Amino acid sequence: MSNKGPSVFSLKAMNFIHRSLIRMSFGRIGWMAAKMPVLELTTVGRKSGRPRSVMLTSPHQEGDSFLIVASKGGSDTPPDWFLNLEKDPNVAVRFQGAPSSAMLAEIVSGHVRDQLWSTIVEDFSNYGDYQTKTSRVIPLVFLRPVT
C-alpha cells in the first residue's frame, strides 16, 4: 500500500485555520471537533530543539489522561509530532481556557493498544478509514500529567 496521505501544506493549513478560529472567537469556539476534545500539543523538535505545536483531537480519555492518534490522515509516514515525542516524551498540553501543563507522552502498544483501537474506530470511524490507507500500524499515545 503506497499512500502519500495529506500534504504537509494541507496539514499546516488546517492547523492554521483551527488556531485562527480559536483566536478569533476568543477561545469560545474550536475546542471540540467531531464530538472530541481538542488540545494543543507542544513537543520539542527532534532536529531543531525548538517548541513545535499542533492542534489534535482526543478520541479517548481516562481521568486526567488523554489519548491521541498519530494517524496523519492515513499517511505512510508518522506525523512529525510523533517522531518528536519518541525522542523526548516530555510535552506541554493546553486545553480550552487553561494554560499549558507538563505531560508525559506514553506510546501504547500490544493488547492495550488493540483494545483501545477497537473502541476508537467503533466511536470514530474516520480513524479506521485512515488505517485502511496505510500499511503502518497507526500509533496511539496517552498524554499523562506529570506528577
| Domain annotation covers residue 2 | no
| Domain annotation covers residue 132 | yes
Q: Rounded distance, CA 75 to CA 20, Å?
A: 25
- Domain CATH for 86: 2.30.110.10
CB 64 within 8 A of CB 144: yes
| Domain annotation covers residue 117 | yes
As for how many domains the chain has, the answer is 1
| Domain annotation covers residue 138 | yes
| Domain annotation covers residue 1 | no
* Local confidence band at 106 (pLDDT 50, 70, 90 cut-offs): very high
| Domain annotation covers residue 103 | yes
| Domain annotation covers residue 50 | yes
| pTM reported for the whole predicted model | 0.80
Calculate the average pLDDT of the chain.
85
- Domain holding 61, by residue range, is 8-145
